[in-house]
A and B are shown apart, each in its own frame.
Chain A
């Protein structure tokens, strides 16, 4: 098992920050890279503002129709976008993951943009999301603790999990 840094992944792109931010926040760009290669876009209704919704439908190869919803929670231009990601049906009603129905229905994703040399570093973190206040507080408060403290635990448990899984 590779080294686990749960909930967070990042990449440095060889492009200026304003361009990297633009391809994350403008519908004509996002539709080009967000879905798997060969994705056909059925609908991409992106209302990019706090409280705005992107209800989208795509067809991924070989021929699987998928609908999803993004709700924008926080936008700091050129720096940060926080959105809630969920699967949905055609009408925008939230559903579970079609292949993993036991997964949390909604996920909170935070994307940050920082300069890195001449390029731009994008960091994405994600957590299960429940729309009740208590859960939000729990996960907001827990994010740092989780990211830092998880690794040790998973290192310790790795062998054990493998044994029993």
Chain B
């Protein structure tokens, strides 16, 4: 992760802002293998070998995926030197769901207002048409 100064963060300039964690979460979630790994981890901690089992994939390839997940904050690795179990971190997922659902609600409400507005517009149009003298 990039380092940044607190005072820079406060100015909220996109050019100096670090890539936000949520975007990293989505990028990490975009891959089906990584999603499958997270589902496995939702049942409990697992080693790299255990996670690799269901996939026809080399261990280095699996490690690459795990690194992406780790950088995005979706998993953490244990500190034991030999068996570094992977653990699902739920906070980024909750934030991702919040973000998606927040926007969904916003759009649903917007659609309600649009529906009412369209009805109103079409009523007006009808009235205007009726007022016109018949040929």
Real binding pair: yes
Whether, in the assembled complex, B27 has its beta carbon less than 8 Å from a beta carbon of chain A, the answer is yes
Say whether A13 contacts B14, CB under 8 Å. Answer: no
Say whether A157 contacts B29, CB under 8 Å. Answer: no
Chain B residues with CB under 8 A of A145: 30-32
> What's the interface size class on B, roughly?
35 or more
Q: Which of B30, B111, B115, B119 contacts A142 (CB 8 A)?
A: B30
Interface residues of A in 59-114 (CB under 8 A from B): 93-96, 100-107
Of B26, B90, B121, the most chain A CB neighbours within 10 A belong to B26
Whether, in the assembled complex, B48 has its beta carbon less than 8 Å from a beta carbon of chain A, the answer is no
- Known contacts A9-B104, A126-B103, A156-B39; A23/B26 CB under 8 A: no
Say whether B35 contacts A153, CB under 8 Å. Answer: yes
A106 to B35 alpha-carbon distance, docked (Å) = 24
Say whether B117 contacts A32, CB under 8 Å. Answer: yes
Chain B residues with CB under 8 A of A142: 26-27, 30-31
Say whether A23 contacts B117, CB under 8 Å. Answer: yes
Whether, in the assembled complex, A130 has its beta carbon less than 8 Å from a beta carbon of chain B, the answer is yes
A interface secondary structure, majority: mixed
Say whether A161 contacts B35, CB under 8 Å. Answer: no
Chain A residues with CB under 8 A of B88: 160
Closest to A145 in B: B30
Say whether A14 contacts B39, CB under 8 Å. Answer: no
Say whether A102 contacts B118, CB under 8 Å. Answer: no
Say whether A33 contacts B113, CB under 8 Å. Answer: yes
Q: Which of A15, A103, A106, A130 contacts B122 (CB 8 A)?
A: A15
A156 to B95 alpha-carbon distance, docked (Å) = 17
Chain B residues with CB under 8 A of A7: 100
A93 to B88 alpha-carbon distance, docked (Å) = 37
Give chain B nearest CB distance to A157 CB in angstroms: 5
Q: Which of B14, B29, B107, B113 contacts A105 (CB 8 A)?
A: B14
Whether, in the assembled complex, B63 has its beta carbon less than 8 Å from a beta carbon of chain A, the answer is no
- Known contacts A11-B111, A23-B118, A149-B32; A102/B42 CB under 8 A: no
Say whether A106 contacts B90, CB under 8 Å. Answer: no
17 further interface pairs, Cβ-Cβ under 8 Å (given A103-B99, A146-B26, A160-B42): A9-B108, A15-B118, A15-B122, A23-B114, A32-B117, A33-B114, A93-B13, A100-B99, A102-B21, A122-B111, A139-B26, A142-B27, A142-B30, A154-B97, A157-B38, A157-B42, A160-B90
Residues on A facing B (Cβ under 8 Å): 4, 6-7, 9, 11, 13-15, 19-20, 23, 29, 32-34, 36-37, 93-96, 100-107, 122, 124, 126-128, 130-131, 135, 138-139, 141-142, 145-146, 149-150, 152-154, 156-157, 160-161, 164-165
Q: Which 4 A-B pairs have the closest CB atoms?
A: A142-B30, A33-B113, A11-B111, A128-B23
